């Protein structure tokens, strides 16, 4: 997870979308319908 501005990466936040715009293109990165929620499973698209 992470804040909208700083973004959210699998390595740092534990999963979710890297940022707001990234989630818009890849909604699957936010299974809990909240890209800001920490603890989401890392998405395959994240490196």
Alpha-helical runs (H) found in the chain: 10-13, 20-25
3-class SS at 13?
helix
Tens digits of per-residue pLDDT, 2-30?
A: 445 555 554 444 445 455 554 454 555 54
Range of the domain at 24: 1-47
- Identify the CA nearest to 12 among candidates 33, 32, 40, 31: 40
Instruction: Report pLDDT for 41.
Output: 58
Instruction: Report pLDDT for 23.
Output: 47
């Amino acid at each position: 997870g992470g804040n909208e501005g700083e973004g959210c990466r699998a390595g740092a936040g534990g999963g979710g979308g890297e940022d707001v715009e990234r989630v818009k293109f890849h909604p699957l990165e936010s299974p809990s319908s909240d890209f800001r929620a920490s603890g989401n499973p890392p998405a395959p698209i994240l490196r």
